[in-house]
Structure 1
Amino acid sequence: MPAKLEGKAVNAPPRPAKTEPVPLTTLVARADAHPAHGDLDGMVTGATLRAQHAQPGDLFAALPGARVHGAQFARDAVAAGAVAVLTDHAGADQLADLDVPVLVHKDPRGVLGSIAAWIYGEPSLRLSVLGVTGTSGKTTTTYMLDAGLRAAGHTTGLVGTVETRIAGERLASAFTTPEAPDLQALFAVMAERGVTHVPIEVSSHALSLGRVGGTRFSVGAFTNLSQDHLDFHQDMDDYFNAKALLFDGRSTKEVVNTDGEWGARLVKADTITVSTEHSADRTAQWTASGITSSIDGEQTFTVHGPDVQFLVTLPMPGTFNVANALLAAACLTVIGVEPDAIARGLNEVQVPGRMERVALGQPFTAVVDYSHKPAAVALALDAIRARTTGRVITVLGCGGDRDAAKRPLMGHEAAVRSELLIVTDDNPRSEDPAEIRKAMIAGAMATEGRGDVREIGDRRAAIAAAVAEAQPGDAVVIAGKGHETGQEIAGIVHPFSDRDELSAAIREVTL
């Protein structure tokens, strides 16, 4: 069951103001579906896979799920105005008496994106969609792309973990990548409102589950790959193969960070390559040189690309953010953004919850970061260590109902890089939070050269304890939840912001 937020229903995703009706016969023919029963003379004007969001004229997608089949909700969708149902054979068997047409396909989820795109007029063909996939850096890179595009004068949309934006209007994000019908409707709304370019995070779940089906990408970009989501994917190869779907021909241009072995696997004859590790010998087409960092984390470096070279000042620490900026610069260049606009955008970029400083006049550094996988924790703490004269104090937890194998690894990476690690709760979801902490602590305590490790389950108390420990020159890092404004415990999402709690704790000790 989805988590509830103070008992409120999730708002319906946006729909375009006008949609040209599409004949059911056209959808049946193009999707290679067949009618189980019902008259196909009708017209469709929308699509959804959630009965509570169904509107008159919709095609309702009744998909098989892990616990229940969507066919159980088809009658509710029809009562709300749905004029047809798309499902599989098992769903059709449950809907034999339904009084609207039932369309059957062996893989309804796999074709739903294309069907939704046809219903909404294939909106991605009217936009320049820039997709970013990878384990870490998706959010940061999409914000960098958005900043560069806006600096060049374009009207942008943005789709990702933190938020969805339509020409400057902000919507909350329920998923990193929305479900297929919602995404196509969203693209149609963006096109309707004058958006020209859309950076979008493309998760492995989205690629595996067909959420970006029917989307044409102007650019597909790859950041990196490290352990994550092995609760969903069988192993790292399966995880990689899901990411690789963005590079199966659906992206007109492909831009890949080749610093790791996984990126190198994606390189083809026409792949645009990016690297911070290959800067010395210029093996990659896009590299950086002269990287310098100030005490407040600002970095300056020169970008080298085919027939172009320009200076960038980036208000974010860490070599990994140089790599993200290079990736963004390469993507922007291939769609025609000029270097001066790219440099201005990167200089002004702000990414909520990603190495985000909380500066309230305190004599120590305080940072909120979304790092919630082993490699991301290591990179974030290494970046903090490089500009910290005192101790690194880290507050970290792991989410429940997710890849359990990474918990001891995260404990290890944080313990070896922190003088003090406080293990706390993240989003325990349906799991016992004490068991999650136990796994993290096991990894931390097995670490040679580790710092002090403490356990404080209450996240608010853990943050307050970290701040109370901080001395001048230290760095306090609150990791794992970043931009999130809630904490999910036993199916209920309680209001909680790391940034707000960190700010309150700093004010308490500095008053």
Structure 2
Amino acid sequence: MPAKLEGKAVNAPPRPAKTEPVPLTTLVARADAHPAHGDLDGMVTGATLRAQHAQAGDLFAALPGARVHGAQFARDAVAAGAVAILTDRAGASQLADVDVPVLVHKDPRGVLGSIAAWIYGEPSLRLSVLGVTGTSGKTTTTYMLEAGLRAAGHTTGLVGTVETRIAGERLASAFTTPEAPDLQALFAVMVEKGVTHVPMEVSSHALSLGRVGGTRFSVGAFTNLSQDHLDFHRDMEDYFQAKALLFDGRSTKEVVNTDGEWGARLVKPDTVTVSTQHGADWTADGITSSIDGEQTFTVRGPGVQFTVTLPMPGTFNVANALLAAACLTVAGVEPDAIAAGLNEVQVPGRMERVALGQQFTAVVDYSHKPEAVALALDAIRARTTGRVITVLGCGGDRDAAKRPLMGREAATRSELLIVTDDNPRSEDPAEIREAMIAGAMAADGRGDVREIGDRRAAIIAAVTEAQPGDAVVIAGKGHETGQEIAGIVHPFSDRDELSAAIREVVL
């Protein structure tokens, strides 16, 4: 059962104000589906795979799920106004008595994105969609892209983990990438609102599950690959192959960070390459850092050179900025606008400082993968004269293999590591902490390791320990405003809790 937001109803995703009706016969022919029964004379004006969001004129996609088949909800969708159902043979066998046409396809999930795009007028062809995939850096890079595009005067959308924005209007994000019908409807709304460019995060789940089917990307970008989501993918190769789908021809231009072996495997003759470590089309040099983490460096690309002052620490953020600069140039943005955007970019929950006048550094970061934890703490260590105090947990119902690895990376880089709860979801939080502590205690050169399950209490303890010159890092949840425990999402913000602890203990 999905988590509930303590009594709050989940809003339906946005839809365009007007959609030109599409004949069912057209969808059947283009999707290579066949009718199980029903009259195909009808017209379709929308699409959904959630019965609670069905509207009059919709095509309802009854897809096979991990626990139940979507056909079980098809009658509810029809009662709400759905005029046709797309499903597989198993679903059709449950729907012989419904009063609307049932369309059968051997892979309804795989074709749903294209069908939704046709229904909503193929909106990605009227937008410049810049897709970013990879394990770490997707969110930061999309915010950098948006900042550069806005500096160039473009009207932007944004689709990602933290939020969705339409011409400056903010919507909450439930997933990194919405389901295919919701994404195509969202693009259509953006077209109506005058949006021209849309940076978006593209997760491996979205690529594997067809959520970005029917989307044409003007630019596809790759950041890096490290262990994550092995609860969903068989192994790292399977994970990589999912990411590689963004580069299967659906992106007009491809921009790849080649600092790692995975990125190097994506390079083709026309690929735009980016690297902070070796020769590439785009490189950065002359990197200098200030005490507050601001970095200045020179960006060098084909026939172009300019200076960036980035208000974010860490060499990994230089790599993200370099990738963004290359993508923006491909998208037609001039160097002055790129530099201006990168100079001002702010990313919620990514190396985000909480500065209330205390004499130690306080940072909230979304790092929730072993490599991301290591990179974030290395960046903090490079500008910290005192101790590094880290608060870290791991999420439940996710890749369990990374828990001891995250514990090890954090313990190696912290004088004090406080292992706490993240989003335990349906799991026993004590068992999650135990796995983390096992990795932490086995780390060479580890600092002190403590266990405080209550995340609020753990943050207060970290702040209480902090002395002038130290750094307190609250890692794992970043921008999130809730903590999921046993199916309930309780209000919780690391930034707010860290601010409250500083006010209570220090100020």
Contact 2:362 2:472 in 1 (8 A): yes
Q: CA deviation at 1:383?
A: 0.2
CA deviations on 1:363-407 (whole Å, 9 max, x unpaired) are 000000000000000000000000000000000000000000000
The answer (yes or no) to whether the contact 2:274–2:280 under 8 Å persists in 1 is no
**Identity percentage over the alignment?**
94
User: In structure 2, how many angstroms separate the alpha carbons of the residues matched to 1:42 and 1:61?
Assistant: 16
Show structure 1 runs of 4+ deviating over 4 A. none
Once the 2 structures are TM-superposed, how far is the Cα of residue 335 of structure 1 from its aligned partner? 1.1
Moved more, 320-329 or 3-12: 3-12
Map of 2:338 onto structure 1 = 342
TM-superposed deviation, 1:57: 0.1
CA contact (8 A) 1:396 1:479 kept: yes
Distance 1:245 1:7 in 2: 38
The 3-state SS of whatever aligns with 1:461 is: helix
Residues 1:191 and 2:191 aligned together? yes
Q: For 2:401 and 2:417, locate their aligned partners in 1 and report how far apart those are by CA, in whole Å.
A: 19
Deviations 1:292-342 (A, max 9, x none): 000000000000000000000000000000000000000000111000000
User: Match for residue 206 of structure 2?
Assistant: 206
CA drift at 1:509:
1.6
- Measure the CA separation in 2 of the matches of 1:175 and 1:47: 18
Q: Conserved in 2, the CA contact under 8 Å of 1:128 and 1:196?
A: yes
Deviations along 1:420-465, one digit per CA (max 9) or x if unpaired, are 0000000000000000000000000001100000000000000000
Please give the secondary structure, in 2, of the residue aligned with 1:207: helix
State the match for 1:416 in structure 2: 412
Give distance in 1, aligned partners of 2:364 and 2:8: 28
CA-CA distance at 1:7 after TM superposition? 1.9
1:37-60 deviation per Cα after TM superposition (whole angstroms, max 9, x unaligned): 000000000000000000000000
Query: What's the offset of the Cα at 1:279?
Result: 5.6
- Following TM superposition, by how much is the alpha carbon of 1:467 offset from its aligned partner in structure 2, in angstroms? 0.2
Which structure 1 segments of 5+ residues have no match?
none
Counterpart CA distance in 1 for 2:359 and 2:285 is 32
> Structure 1 residues 147 and 225 mapped into 2: Cα distance closer, same or farther (>3 Å)?
same
Does structure 2 retain, via aligned residues, the 8 Å contact 1:130–1:219? yes
Deviation per residue, 1:450-505 (Å, 9 max, x gap): 00000000000000000000000000000000000000000000000000000000
| Partner Cα distance (2:306, 2:275) in 1 | 16
Output the CA distance in 2 between the equivalents of 1:237 and 1:206.
17
The verdict on how the C-alpha distance between 1:91 and 1:153 changes in structure 2, with shifts beyond 3 A counting, is same
Conservation of the 8 A alpha-carbon contact between 1:123 and 1:184: yes
- Cα shift at 1:510: 2.2
Tell me, in whole angstroms, the C-alpha distance in 2 between the residues paired with 1:280 and 1:119.
41
CA contact (8 A) 1:58 1:82 kept: yes
User: For the residues of structure 2 that align with 1:241 and 1:10, how far apart are their CA atoms?
Assistant: 33
- d(CA) in 1 for partners of 2:6 and 2:435? 30
Cα contact 2:419–2:450 (8 A) shared by 1: yes
2:373 and 2:410 in contact (8 A); partners too? yes
Question: Contact 1:279–1:288 (CA<8 Å) still a contact in 2?
Answer: no
Q: Deviations over 1:51-77 (max 9, x none)?
A: 000000000000000000000000000
Structure 1 distance, partners of 2:395, 2:497, is 19
Aligned-residue Cα RMSD (Å) equals: 0.8
Shift of 1:175: 0.3
Cα shift readout 1:62-97 (whole Å, capped 9, x = no counterpart): 000000000000000000000000000000000011
Say if 1:279 and 1:289, in contact at 8 Å, map to a contact too: no
Q: Tell me, what secondary structure is at the counterpart of 2:140?
A: helix
| 1:48 has 2:44 as partner | no
1:128, 1:7 → 2: CA distance? 38
Q: Supply the distance in 1 between the matched residues of 2:279 and 2:395 (Cα, whole angstroms).
A: 36
Partner of 2:388: 392
Q: CA deviation at 1:26?
A: 0.2
- SS of aligned partner of 1:346: helix
Offset at residue 278 of structure 1 (A): 1.1
Give CA-to-partner distance per residue, 1:112-158, whole Å, 9 cap, x none. 00000000000000000000000000000000000000000000000
Cα distance change, pair 280–240 in 1 and its aligned pair in 2 (3 A): closer
How far 1:280 sits from its partner (Å)? 9.9
SS of the residue 1:186 aligns to: helix
| Contact 1:123 1:188 survives alignment (8 Å) | yes
In 2, Cα distance between the equivalents of 1:341 and 1:64? Answer: 46
2:19 alignment partner, SS class: coil
Q: Within 1, Cα distance between the matches of 2:162 and 2:505?
A: 30
Aligned position for 2:272: 272
1:256-295 equivalences in 2 (<5 Å): 256-278=256-278, 286-295=282-291
Per mean C-alpha deviation after superposition, the further-off stretch among 247-256 and 4-13 is 4-13
1:94 paired with 2:94, answer yes
SS at match of 2:212: coil
Contact map agreement 1:298 1:315 (CA 8 A) in 2: yes
CA distance 1:361–1:493, change in 2 (3 Å): same
- SS of alignment partner, residue 141 of structure 2: helix
Maintained 8 Å contact 2:273/2:280: no
For the residue of structure 1 that corresponds to 2:379, the secondary structure is: helix
* CA distance, structure 1, for counterparts of residue 331 and residue 146 of structure 2: 13
Three-state SS of the structure 1 residue aligned to 2:93 is helix
Conserved in 2, the CA contact under 8 Å of 1:258 and 1:273?
yes
Query: Using a 3 Å threshold, how does the CA distance of structure 1 residues 279 and 507 change in structure 2: closer, same or farther?
Result: farther
Cα distance between partner residues in 2 of 1:89 and 1:321: 48
Bigger shift: residues 498-507 or 1-10: 1-10
Name the CA distance, whole Å, in 2 between partners of 1:419 and 1:356.
21
TM-score by length of 1: 0.99
Instruction: Return the alpha-carbon distance in structure 2 between the equivalents of residues 280 and 311 of structure 1.
Output: 18
Per-residue Cα deviation, 1:219-256 (whole angstroms, up to 9, x for no partner): 00000000000000000000000000000000000000
Aligned-partner Cα distance in 2 for 1:339–1:449: 45
Q: Residue 8 of structure 2: SS of its match in structure 1? A: coil
Q: Is the contact between residue 484 and residue 496 of structure 1 (CA under 8 Å) also seen in structure 2? A: yes
